[in-house]
Amino acid sequence: MRDRVHELTRRIHDLPTLPAVYQQVEALTRDPSASSAQLALLISRDPVLTARLLRVVNSARYALTERVTTVSRAVSILGHHTVRDTVLATSVLSLLPTEPRLQDLAGAFWRHAIAVGSAAQVLGAPSGGPAAPELFTAGLLHDIGKLIWLRFFPDDLLAIHEAAAAADITLLDAELAMVNTTHVRLGRILARRWRLPEVYQDVIGFHHEVGVGTGNASACFVVQLADLVAHALELGWPSPLLLPTVQPEAWASLRLDPEVLPDMLEAVQAEFQENIELFPLFTNDGAGAASDGQEATPAPALAG
């Protein structure tokens, strides 16, 4: 399996690019002269994105007294960046494998992503740092490097989990030992290739180790802690694995009193339930993961 490193890196280029609609939405959000009407028109051409956006704006989070039924109204309420991130999350979701035998694995990956996004929202709220929607998306995308394994080498991903459990080491150490690379390195390449916003590139590439010169260090630390919380609560990957280590500076950056953590965990669970409803993996309306002619893969079993 140690020969995988070159193959994994090569496979990054086999992953589909993000849909054109995301690229167009992203370009509009960077254009100061772009209007909400332009953005709404673009979204409304895509029924899946339209349904998702309306679901988000009508969710309890926005606590609106009247139901929003038009994309233009949704865009004006949510703002351009939240619209962009909703499109981004939907686009990533569409890249997850849909084969029935991979659903457990894809489901665990997606639930963990949603859990880290939810935890990042909650943990980051009191710090006055990055905005909650941005933290949610950062958390959602943090392990995007594992998408390469999930799509092309799902058995390797399972083998890494099993090896970590057997050797009583963290997942990150198991990746290094078995494949001589990590999802962080793969994610960094993928994020650059997808031209994701800089904050997401930084979080994907540095959420396990924030260096002195790391950009968006505040968001990276929040996601590092959110990853710890999601693993602790086993929202996603159910396993007895050792929890990831976190840097002492991470807690310090949030200035959180340890006494507030029990209430925060309750809030994380509530956020998780809400977000998993907004972004379910498989839906009947086509808004979840969608098949795109992906390669057949053997059937792995997710260890509980």
Partner 1 sequence: MPCGLTVARAVRNAANTVLLERGVVLDARMIACLRSLGVSHVYVHPDRSAAPPDALEQAVRGEVTRREEHRFGDVSGDPHRAALLAATIEIKVGERLAAEVFPPADRELAAAPFGGVNDA
CB of 61 to partner 1, least distance (A): 8
For residues 220 and 223, give the distance between their C-alpha atoms in angstroms, rounded to a whole number.
5
**249 counts as binding partner 1 under rule CB under 8 A:** no
Segment contacting partner 1 (CB under 8 A): 31-39, 97-105, 113-121, 229-237? 229-237
215-250 residues labelled b (16+ CB within 10 A) or e (exposed): ebbbbbbbbbbbbbbbbeebbbbebebbebeebeeb
Site for partner 1 in 21-60 (CB under 8 A): 59-60
CB of 225 to partner 1, least distance (A): 8
Amino acid letter, 90: T
Site for partner 1 in 269-288 (CB under 8 A): 269-270, 273-274, 276-277
Site for partner 1 in 57-96 (CB under 8 A): 59-60
CA distances from 25 to 29, 47, 95, 137, 221 (A): 6, 15, 18, 16, 28
Segment contacting partner 1 (CB under 8 A): 40-48, 95-103, 187-195, 243-251? 243-251
- Give the alpha-carbon dihedral of 89, 94, 96, 101, to 10 degrees: 140
Do the Cβ atoms of 281 and 289 come closer than 8 Å? yes
Count the residues of the shown chain that bind partner 1, applying the rule CB under 8 A: 29
For residues 106 and 90, give the distance between their C-alpha atoms in angstroms, rounded to a whole number.
15
Which of helix, strand or coil describes residue 243? Answer: coil
Segment contacting partner 1 (CB under 8 A): 131-139, 148-156, 185-193, 226-234? 226-234
Comparing CB distances to partner 1, the nearer of 32 and 248 is 248
Q: Which of 5, 159, 242, 303 binds partner 1 (CB under 8 A)?
A: 242
For residues 134 and 127, give the distance between their C-alpha atoms in angstroms, rounded to a whole number.
14
Centre a 10 Å sphere on the Cβ of residue 113 and count the other Cβ atoms it contains: 27
Segment contacting partner 1 (CB under 8 A): 35-43, 78-86, 126-134, 234-242? 234-242
CB of 17 to partner 1, least distance (A): 33
Residues that bind partner 1 (CB under 8 A): 59-60, 228-229, 232-233, 240-243, 245-246, 248, 251, 256, 258-259, 261-263, 265-267, 269-270, 273-274, 276-277
